[in-house]
Amino acid sequence: MKNYIIISALIICSTFAKVKAQTTHLLDTIYANDTKNVALFFPEPIRQGITGSDNFVFTYNRENEQYFGLLQATPGKESNLLVINRNGSIFSYIVRYKKQLSKLNYFIPLSNSIGNEKPIVKDSVLVESSEELVDNSTYYYQKFCSYLLNRKQHIARIKKRNEGIILTVENIVFDKDELYFVIEIENNSSLDYDLNFLNLSIETRQKGKRKSLQRLYQEPIYKHNLPSKIKENERARFVYVLPKFSLSDDRRAILELNEKDGERNIEMKLSHRYINNPN
């Protein structure tokens, strides 16, 4: 995997270090909640958007730059939103959770920009690119996975147990070009559970006289909060991020939980209906 996650404080400090002395701006406040999308329309396409807290998620098209992004929030302390347009214009706002929203669309003029990340300087200085400062994809996965773990959303009761170990798929969410699997392992036994691996494969049932099964392992793009051990009477919740895929009715996904130096293994079958109809 590329360079690992750099926290938002470092990103913000690095960005503002590139901006020449600027006039202090009083930041406006944008309100959001977890039931509606708040749309922010900018004068130039969005290149980067960052929130300072896990209870706020700002999504935008990372493949094809567009002029708008969507903000959602779960209850928690206020935070901030930093947005950089394609032309380097910087926008900064305070963001707060509010149960009832009176405004769902914000049309942001260029005059609201607090500066530009590429100011004209007298000296010839080499400026590090934002790509070198942060792996945008990894940062986005981290933020969105944290958001999903805070949400109380379930796709179905997909659960299987073995000797006090309970494997649950709480949610499957589609976002952009990825599927997010929100998973929980609960240990109701009297022994700690050491995780050897948790693999997801696609199983194909071969037709004909000699029926057989073939499995193709799916490599996650990102794993969020994957534990190595679940202590007795504790549980762990985490997220697997995989490239988007769909299944025909003769295929299904298989989740394999394997214990290190133990036999409390679980194999869970996920119907194509769950994979093809995510949240």
CA 72/CA 102 separation, integer angstroms? 14
Matching CATH number, 158-276, of 3.40.50.970, 2.60.40.1150, 3.40.718.10, 3.40.50.300 = 2.60.40.1150
pLDDT for 91: 92
Chain CA centroid to CA 21, Å: 34
Q: With contact defined as beta carbons under 8 Å apart, do 6 and 103 qualify?
A: no
pLDDT tens, 223-272? Answer: 999 999 999 999 999 999 999 988 888 888 999 999 999 899 999 999 88
pLDDT for 259: 92
Using a pLDDT cut of 90, give the percent of the chain over it: 48
Taking alpha carbons only, the member of 188, 267, 268 closest to residue 230 is 188
pLDDT tens, 77-126? Answer: 999 999 999 888 899 999 999 999 999 999 988 888 888 877 645 444 44
In the chain, CATH 2.60.40.1150 covers: 158-276
Confidence bin at 21 (pLDDT 50/70/90) = very low
Q: What is the pTM of this model?
A: 0.56
Asked if residue 36 has pLDDT above 60, the reply is yes
pLDDT for 208: 57
Which tokens hold the place of 105?
């669309």
